[in-house]
Amino acid sequence: MGRKGRISGLCVSLVSAVCLTLGLSGCGASYDTTSPRSAREHAASDADGSTPAASKPDVLKGGDGANDANGSVDCAVAKCVALTFDAGPSGNTPRLLKILEREKAHATFFMLGRKHIDRHPDLVRRIADEGHELANHTWSHKILTKTDSDEVRTEITRVQTAVKKLTGRTPLLMRPPQGRTDERVSKICRELGVAQVLWSVTAKDYQTNDSALIEKRVLDQTKRDGIILLHDIYPGTVPAVPGILAKLKKEGYTVVTVSQLMAPAVPEPGKVYRP
């Protein structure tokens, strides 16, 4: 192989490595993203610089005094990070909910429809009743960028309908499977009234059941205003949560839902939010 061939091959390898490292939406996808922090700051600026606390349930206190007596949190002051769980509910979710209740932490649950919402309706209600944020992860985890538009609509609306029927609430947030989205998917989300949420921290808990490793990966990647991605369907994940919450609290973090992280901004349908 000549020098040009070697250079070309190296470039392809580097691009592939970047795609694998990112793990988001694939290469070649073109779309704009907005960070929760910038959305929050823009909304506060529009409100003459005032940043009212999010009107949400109690959250894990991070030690910086940013929580008021009602448990609301101002992430412009607090060192916040959003905790999210994908692909449930499952048989592991009750244990997770007990942990979150004990630690006074709330999370955003991006729930799957088939074999999850339809099999665990009582858990969907419990997630809502205990003050967590209900969100959409599609009905059957199809890659939306590879799915025709009518089916994309069905994948999203079936979850919206099921959650509304069970809880009376319609999710405002949707996480596209594997984080893969594009302008077409964003347009459909705008039509359906859901914002898209990606992440900044992944433990890749789908690759390991080692709870200590999951905990380490989360803590190594977490930064202020980040979004943590975990799955409550894998056996190693829930046992890692107590350690994650304890260490985040020790480091001064306040654990919040995605909507709390963005407040006073309101998730805008069709937009893609990523720290």
pLDDT of 2 reads: 52
Q: Annotated catalytic residue: which of 74, 225, 231, 232?
A: 231
Considering the domain architecture, whether residues 6 and 86 belong to the same structural domain is answered as no
**Does the pLDDT at position 42 exceed 90?**
yes
Considering the domain architecture, whether residues 7 and 104 belong to the same structural domain is answered as no
pTM of the model: 0.84
**Does the pLDDT at position 95 exceed 60?**
yes
Considering the domain architecture, whether residues 7 and 86 belong to the same structural domain is answered as no
Considering the domain architecture, whether residues 102 and 21 belong to the same structural domain is answered as no
Considering the domain architecture, whether residues 12 and 83 belong to the same structural domain is answered as no
Is 86 noted as a catalytic residue in this protein? Answer: yes
Task: Indicate the number of domains in the chain.
Answer: 2
Considering the domain architecture, whether residues 66 and 196 belong to the same structural domain is answered as yes
Helix/strand/coil (H/E/C) assignment for every residue in 88-106: CCCCCHHHHHHHHHHCCCC
What percent of the chain lies above the pLDDT cut of 70?
A: 81
Among residues 174, 103, 241, 115, the alpha carbon closest in space to that of 123 is found at 115
Q: pLDDT per residue over 156-169, tens digit each? A: 999 999 999 999 99
Q: Lowest-pLDDT range, 7-11, 89-93, 103-107, 188-192? A: 7-11
Higher pLDDT, 95 or 53: 95
In CATH, what number is assigned to the domain containing residue 53?
A: 3.20.20.370
Burial of 101 (0-12, 13-18, 19+ CB in 10 A): middle
Q: Annotated catalytic residue: which of 86, 205, 225, 232?
A: 86
Considering the domain architecture, whether residues 141 and 213 belong to the same structural domain is answered as yes
Range 144-149 average pLDDT:
98
Considering the domain architecture, whether residues 261 and 185 belong to the same structural domain is answered as yes
If you write DSSP's letter for every residue of the chain in order, what string do you get?
--HHHHHHHHHHHHHHHHHHHH-SS-TT-----B-HHHHHHHHHHHTTT--PPP-----B--SSS-B-TTS-B-TTTSEEEEEEEES---TTHHHHHHHHHHTT---EEEE-IIIIITT-HHHHHHHHHTTPEEEE--SS---GGGS-HHHHHHHHHHHHHHHHHHHS----EE--GGG---HHHHHHHHHHT-EEE--SEE--TTS---HHHHHHHHHHH--TTEEEEEETTSTTTGGGHHHHHHHHHHTTEEEE-HHHHHTTS-PPTT-EE--
**Does the pLDDT at position 247 exceed 70?**
yes
Average pLDDT of the chain? Answer: 86
pLDDT of 15 reads: 35
Task: For residue 77, give its domain range.
Answer: 31-273
Q: pLDDT per residue over 10-31, tens digit each? A: 443 333 333 433 444 444 457 8
pLDDT of 5 reads: 47
Considering the domain architecture, whether residues 155 and 264 belong to the same structural domain is answered as yes
End-to-end alpha carbon distance in the chain: 42
Considering the domain architecture, whether residues 143 and 16 belong to the same structural domain is answered as no
Q: How confident is the model at residue 46 (pLDDT cuts 50, 70, 90)?
A: confident
**Does the pLDDT at position 9 exceed 50?**
no
Considering the domain architecture, whether residues 131 and 89 belong to the same structural domain is answered as yes
pLDDT of 45 reads: 85
pLDDT of 171 reads: 98
Considering the domain architecture, whether residues 49 and 82 belong to the same structural domain is answered as yes
pLDDT of 48 reads: 58
pLDDT of 90 reads: 97
On the CB side of 122, how many CA atoms lie within 13 Å of its CA? 2
Residue 156: left if φ>0, alpha if ψ -120 to 50, beta else—which one?
Answer: alpha
Tokens standing for residue 224: 């202020």
